[in-house]
Amino acid sequence: MDRPFAITLPVGSSRANHTGSWRVERPVYVDHLPPCNDACPAGENIQRWLYHAESGDYEAAWRILVEENPLPAIMGRVCFHPCESACNRVRVDEAVGINAVERFLGDTALARGWRLPDPGPDSGRRVLVVGAGPAGLSATYHLRRAGHAVTLVEGAARLGGMMRYGIPAYRLPRAVLDAEVERILEMGVEVVLGRSVKDIAAARDEFRADAVFLAVGAQLGRRVSIPAGDSAKMIDAVTFLHQVAEDDPPLLGRHVVVYGGGDTALDAARTARRLGATDATIVYRRNRAKMPAHAEEVEQALGEGVTVRWLSTIERFEGERLLIEKMALNAEGFPEPTGELEELDADALVLALGQDTDLSLLEGSEVHVADGVVPVAESMMTDVPGVFAGGDVAPSDRTATVAVGHGKRAAKGIDAFLGDRSFERPERHPLAAFERLNTWYYADAPRTQRPELERIRRQTNFEEVVGGLTEDNALFEARRCLSCGNCFECDNCFGVCPDNAVIKLGGGDRYEIDYDYCKGCGICVAECPCGAIEMVPERI
Amino acid sequence: MLQQLEGSRAVAETVARCRPEVVCAYPISPQTHIIEAIGAMVKDGRLAPCEFINVESEYAAMSVSIGASAAGARAYTATASQGLLFMIEAVYNAAGLGLPVVMTLANRAIGAPINIWNDHSDAMAVRDAGWIQLFAETNQEAADLHVQAFRLAETLSVPVMVCMDGFILTHAVEAVDLIDQAVVDSFLPPYEPRQVLDPDDPVSIGAMVGPEAFEEVRYLAHLRQLDALELIPSVAEEFAALTGRASGGLLHPYRLDDAETVIVAMGSVLGTIKDAVDARRATGERVGVLGVTTFRPFPVAAVADALAGARRVIVVEKAFSLGMGGVLATDVATASPASGPELATVVAGLGGRPITRRDVEGVLGRSAQGTLPRLSFLNLDEDVVARERARMAASRRSGPFAENVLRDLAAGGANR
Amino acid sequence: MTETRVHFYQVGSFAVGNRLLSDADRTVQASRERTNSLDAGHRACQGCGEALGARYALDAAMRATGGRLVAVNATGCLEVFSTPFPETSWRIAWLHSLFGNAPAVATGVAAAMRAKGRDDVRVVGQAGDGGTVDIGFGALSGMFERHDDVLFICYDNEGYMNTGVQRSAATPPTARTATSEAVGADPGNVFGQGKDLPRIAMAHDIPYVATATVADLHDLERKVERAMTFRGARYLHVLVPCPLGWGAASADTVRLARLAAESGFFPVFEAEHGVVTGVRRIRRRVGVEEYLRPQRRFAHLFAGEGRPDLVARLQLIADANVERYGLAPEEE
């Protein structure tokens, strides 16, 4: 068109002017490690599976979840969710209910019959897994995925380890446990039940195993010496819970005292209540703040009528009377005896003072044992090549989730060992700290509470106490995720760029900076809700 | 068909026949009757489609016209004096953007002191704005020039200002032959803009132009003015062929053949001057008149031709550049050959002071006697001036001189 | 069994888009098909709020009008940085005439469209605060009063930034500009009423008046869309922080706009036919100090012993806004 010279210009011609040359810093997209992922002992990619759950694609979410952990319905119940303690959303309102969503996904998978991934192509190698608790089952799953044959040897009559014999059914219904265990077995696992391995080297030979994973757990209740009369009925909590799990509960009477302050103590007290004890009293030497048991477990126990004698130790147990001594915190915050005594009615005393590992199967082997546990390398391998150990056997926190993580890492270690490769942990991204976030953009949304069984019903039966989320609630909860450190395609960068220098790729492919025009103002970085962009100096 | 019409009415009727699509109105004497009349025609539907907009200032009047013209509409407004000065930024802008707005300028003095009567100071103030400036001698010509103005403006993409003397023409009732609608329609095709705001073919109009192209832009605008010098006579001829009227064109020569003394002037005063010339011719003096119809672009070559035989040229003009002298005279001097005629400037008719035939004859007489200075002011009251000068010399706080002069005159010479 | 749709989205109400939102709930800016009315390659400073605000508003207007839009621009930063010969950043029909006449030019365009029977084409006039509240004020008021079919948008960066940061009638009290230096006993701009153009516009009883900021895109786009449902004169006043003139980090443009609204210093509301019909309530209220501190134009309020007396007076302005418009956050 014949337009007046200079006064009238054709549209969009400024794209010839590459303003990117003004830039001294450039924005780059990054992926940082969300604190939930960082905190998960099982190494779950929580942020990633929440991302799929947010869109209602639960199967995709579940599939990403079981990449790392084959027991989501169980973990959604028994995991003490360090992910939620680490969650950045705590500083906005409340942590995302990750555990509840995990349980929702796990339950949905069971209800809809989703199957775990097929085993990998047969490697021709066999691994002996000793112990079918969370560590052993996790290792079995990951080994099968890598194509290795697995022989799973378990001393008890049924699979599950502490998940079956330590955790009461009101926290973990057996149908859920059975279903998730069964799903692993469907991958093709040789199972030997009721067989205690006595000699690790012999067992390795017997099962012609190329490697061994030792995950026998910590099944021995720790004892302390308490002066007690002959008639005093004392039992350790592990044995007590095991007997209950086998439908053979011991008779403890109406007044039950539990000694200890861990989760097991609470499990024992709550179980005693359900078996008919009119009062279940926990005696613990320190105060509530110092109690190692998880706060919500304590809450639930108190709600069920369990009482706690804080700052108390047991002096003597004679017949139906228990003598306890009051403690006081000294200047350093440690409890010290006061000499003040008190009496308690007690038909039975349950000792929940910790557990030890039965490592007699290592006697005569070259596997090193120190302080009652087996030191392992990063690959979970002991100092005997081909022998790996994990779960409560290895030094670390003793939780089911840690055990699951150990099982996975051991499986990878074993896979590397069998393939004659060195074991390398995947590189971790820098942490997506709260300071990187721009929380303005997240809608205010307090977390959804999971329904709880009414108290009166909890006192008399072993029905599950904590319910699951409805789908709506699970979706809501998933969508509370801040997606720390990882782009979730909110379009902010695309929108807030004054120079139209962000290219939206769409369809899950996120964005690209158009460095021809980006002037490096940094608004995209400042306004990225999840901290997935950062400025780096421009190279000149 | 001749009708007795007020000049403003004649212009309004003619403008309406040019089918303007947007007309802006802001009252200022002496143009107000024009836009009042057009407003009534829009209101009663005689002029349609047309948007008549009562703006809040002359600045807005020209700005609305700019917007309308850039959007492809035929735009018209009218103003005078202070109004023109108030819109002057937009006047330049319309020209710079090449928008063919047509505006009537009812010429009026510029204050202070405030004065509503006729002179040409307002037109001279926008001499360099880039508009074509046409001066009407009569109401018939004023009306006719508007038809030609739209044609010129839209052909060249240059705005056109039709200047007509305030009150002397705008308020005078004379016989005017209003042009037929059919004639206008055949003469003035619908506006086809060179550039237009169109969502279907978007462009950016009004870019910022730096040193790298500004001179070229201005020079191109200058060339377009020179193109207008070619176009204006041909449009006038075409108009004459349709109407039989010699309205418009570059110049109106009168009795120039063999003229030794030529008076150059613009606007309605030409009638008076022609009467004076006729009277002097009757006594055998070889005098003539050159009416300048097209002041911008200034027809340098045509003026030079017209003055080729003159020995004395007297520019009678209703404006001047303070501290320098004639404005039109400066242009005439530029157009005159180097060895050309003796040039005198007579500033006359400021603020509506009458110019009579006797006055003009007096000027011619002084010129013939060789007593006409190079620059003179017609009928200047030297006594009033002298007394005010004396007051100023005597006292620092001598007061405002316009009011002093009025007091002197009211005293009827008692102070003399 | 009842089905309830889950309405909540993780960033749905605040971010530009989100893959989980339906198309209708996403902003125009979230779309790859947005007009980019103001395209890349313009010469605005890094982090220019006005460039952002103009694209936001005009893209929304383009969607609302189905692309039948003409924009008229006053002289100022937006005009200068977008159309230096030989390049223009505009992708829409656009006209620049002068500094003080954009409302009138827009009127002319609208009149031309009406005369030509092009009622489908809508007109936007736009200017900075100087071109709106100062030099263009008369023309704007005339446009309002005549009820011309124009949406006029003021991109308010609170000063004459194009000419080197001078004071305008929209400059807040105490702010340092090149013509209100931070020296003497009363440093910075004077305390006064300023020229509250949204309220002046409301006094014209035009059908729609709204304020917005570049920090709340959903709100801004909705207001443009709402404005386009009316015929006649409409006014939108958008706060657009200026990193250069405010002495702020280029990355802080959106944040400062947010703080301006969240402190109550810049009230965000809308009015129809002269009556306030909606306010954007404060979500996380902050004191004005949090808004002022990151800006060097207010540095003299905090240097040395500072001027807590002046900060307190500025806080009173914010408090008065909160009171006048009912901006206080909703009770929990």
Contacts of A522 in chain C (CB under 8 A): 47, 249-251
Average model confidence (pLDDT) across chain B: 95
Question: With 50 as the cut, is the pLDDT of residue A69 above it?
Answer: yes
Question: Do A13-31+487-537 and A35-114+437-479 have matching folds?
Answer: no
Which of A3, A8, A14 to mutate against chain B (most B CBs within 10 Å)? A8
- By Cβ distance, the residue of B201, B202, B217 closest to A7 is B217
DSSP lists the bridge partners of residue A152 as: A129, A191
Find chain C residues with C-beta within 8 A of A441's C-beta.
Answer: 11, 14-15
What confidence tens digit (pLDDT) does each residue in A468-480 have? 888 888 888 898 8
Of 1.10.10.10, 1.10.1060.10, 1.10.472.50, 3.30.70.260, which CATH number belongs to A35-114+437-479? 1.10.1060.10
Give CA–CA dist A211/A125, Å, rounded.
9
| B178 vs A294 pLDDT, higher one | B178
**What proportion of chain A, given as a percentage, has pLDDT over 70?**
99
B354-373 pLDDT per residue, tens: 999 999 999 999 999 999 99
pLDDT computed for residue A2 by the predictor: 67
Nearest CA in chain B to C37: B202
Q: CB–CB of A5 and B220 under 8 A?
A: yes
Chain B residues whose CB is inside 8 A of the A4 CB are: 97-98, 157, 194-195
Look up residue A75 and give its two tokens.
């973990």
Q: Is the pLDDT of residue B5 over 90?
A: yes
Q: Which CATH superfamily is domain A223-354 in?
A: FAD/NAD(P)-binding domain (3.50.50.60)
Domain regions of chain A by residue span: 13-31+487-537, 35-114+437-479, 126-219+357-418, 223-354
- Please give the biggest Cα pair distance in chain C: 73
Instruction: Delimit the domains of chain C by residue range.
Output: 31-325
Contact C8 A15 (CB under 8 A): no
Q: B203, A4: Cβ pair inside 8 Å?
A: no
Contact pairs from chain A to chain C, CB under 8 Å: 170
**A296-335: per-residue pLDDT in tens?**
889 999 999 999 999 999 999 987 889 999 999 888 888 8
Q: pLDDT band for position B416 (50/70/90)? A: very low
Q: Is the pLDDT of residue A462 over 90?
A: no
Q: Between the CA of residue A82 and those of A39, A265, A425, B63, what are the distances in Å?
A: 6, 20, 21, 68
Taking the CA of residue B214 and the nearest CA in chain A, the distance in Å comes to 8
What is the tens place of the pLDDT at every residue in A142-184? 999 999 999 999 999 999 999 999 999 999 999 999 999 999 9
- Taking an 8 Å cut-off on Cβ atoms, the answer to whether B68 and C111 are in contact is yes
Q: Is C88 on the interface with B (CB under 8 A)?
A: yes
Please, what is the Cα angle at A480 between A474 and A481, to 5 degrees? Answer: 105
Residue in B205, B216, B220 nearest the CB of A8: B205
Tell me the HSE value of B114 on the side-chain side, using a 13 A CA sphere: 4
Contact A240, A277 (CB under 8 A): no
Which of A225, C96, A232 shows the shortest CA–CA distance to B195?
Answer: C96
State the pLDDT at residue C12.
Answer: 62
Type of residue numbered A65: L
Q: Which residues pair with B4 in a beta bridge?
A: B175
Nearest CB neighbour to B204, from listed A2, A5, A8: A8
Residue A12 has pLDDT above 70, yes or no: yes
C85 and B CB contact within 8 Å: yes
Residue C4 confidence (pLDDT): 41
Q: Residue A38 pLDDT more than 70? A: yes
Encode pLDDT of A484-531 as tens digits.
Answer: 999 999 999 999 999 999 999 988 899 999 999 999 999 999 999 999
pLDDT above 50 (res A83): yes
| Structure confidence at residue C332 (pLDDT) | 43
The per-residue pLDDT for range B81-103, each reduced to its tens digit, is 999 999 999 999 999 999 999 99
> Identity (one letter) of the amino acid at B187?
F
Residue B345 corresponds to which tokens in the numbers above?
């400037």
Q: Which residues of C touch B22 (CB under 8 A)?
A: 108, 111-112, 115
Contact B204 A2 (CB under 8 A): no
- Any chains having at least 3 CB pairs less than 8 A from chain C are A, B
Q: d(Cα C131, Cα B334) in Å, to the nearest integer?
A: 42
Give the pLDDT confidence score for residue C1 in this predicted structure.
36
Note the pLDDT of residue B109.
Answer: 98
C31-325 CATH choice from 3.60.15.10, 3.30.830.10, 3.40.50.970, 3.90.1570.10: 3.40.50.970
Nearest chain C residue to B77 by CA: give it.
C108
Q: What is the DSSP string of A16-61?
A: GS-GGGG-SEEEEE---B-HHHHH-TT---HHHHHHHHHTT-HHHH
Residue ranges of domains in chain B, CATH in brackets: 2-243 (3.40.50.970), 251-377 (3.40.50.920), 383-416 (no CATH)
Listing DSSP states for B139-195 in one string gives HHHHHHHHHHHHHHHHHHT--EEEEEETTTTTT-EEEEEPPPHHHHHHHSPPP--SS
Q: Are C78 and C126 in contact (CB under 8 A)?
A: yes
Across residues A420-425, what is the average pLDDT? 91
Q: Say which range, A211-220, B392-401, C212-221, has the weakest mean pLDDT.
A: B392-401
pLDDT over 80 at B170, yes or no: yes
Helices (H), A220-325: 237-245, 263-274, 295-303
Output the CATH code of domain A126-219+357-418. Answer: 3.50.50.60
Distance from CA of A13 to the nearest CA of B (A): 10
Q: CB distance from C204 to chain B under 8 Å?
A: no
Closest chain C residue to A526, measured at CA:
C251
Q: What is the pLDDT of residues B28-39, one digit of tens each?
A: 999 999 999 999
Q: Which one-letter DSSP state was computed for residue A492?
A: H
- β partners of residue A341: A325
- What is the pLDDT at residue A120? 96
Chain A residues with CB under 8 Å of C16 CB are 490-492, 494-496
CA-based nearest residue to A83, from A33, A138, A32, A141: A33
According to the model, what pLDDT value does residue C5 have? Answer: 46
Residue type, B207: A
pLDDT digits (tens), chain C, 332 positions: 344 444 455 666 689 988 888 777 889 999 999 999 999 999 999 999 999 999 999 999 999 999 999 999 999 999 999 999 999 999 999 999 999 999 999 999 999 999 999 999 999 999 999 999 999 999 999 999 999 999 999 999 999 999 999 999 999 999 999 999 999 999 999 998 789 999 999 999 999 999 999 999 999 999 999 999 999 999 999 999 999 999 999 999 999 999 999 999 999 999 999 999 999 999 999 999 999 999 999 999 999 999 999 999 999 999 999 999 999 998 64
The token pair that represents A215 in the structure block: 């995950």
Residue B112 CB partners (closer than 8 Å, separation 6+): B402
Give all strands (DSSP E) within chain C, no chain letters.
69-73, 93-96, 122-128, 150-156, 208-213, 234-239, 269-272, 275-279
| Of C290, C270, C288, the residue nearest C280 (C-alpha) | C270
Token pair 């190494």: residue: A43
Residues of A in contact with C286 (CB under 8 A): none
User: Is a pLDDT exceeding 90 seen at residue B298?
Assistant: yes
- Is 50 exceeded by the pLDDT of residue A252? yes
Q: Any chain B CB within 8 A of the CB of C45?
A: no
Complex ipTM value: 0.95
Question: What is the arithmetic mean of pLDDT over B46-73?
Answer: 98
A418/A427 Cα distance (integer angstroms)? 22
CA distance A140 to A406: 11
Run of H or E residues at A122: none
Say how far apart CA B305 and CA B312 lie, in whole Å: 14
pLDDT of residue A58: 96
Report the chain C residue with the minimal C-alpha distance to residue A509: C19
pLDDT single digits (tens) A152-163: 999 999 999 999
Closest C-alpha among C135, C123, C129 to residue C62: C123
Cα gap A49→C20, rounded to integer Å:
15
Average pLDDT over residues A121-141: 97
Assigned CATH for A13-31+487-537: 3.30.70.20
Does A116 score more than 80 pLDDT? yes
Please tell me if residue B90 touches chain C, with a CB cutoff of 8 Å. Answer: yes
B90 Rama class: left (phi>0) / alpha (psi -120 to 50) / beta: alpha
How far is Cα C147 from Cα A538, in angstroms, rounded to an integer?
51
Is pLDDT larger for residue A446 or for residue C77?
A: C77
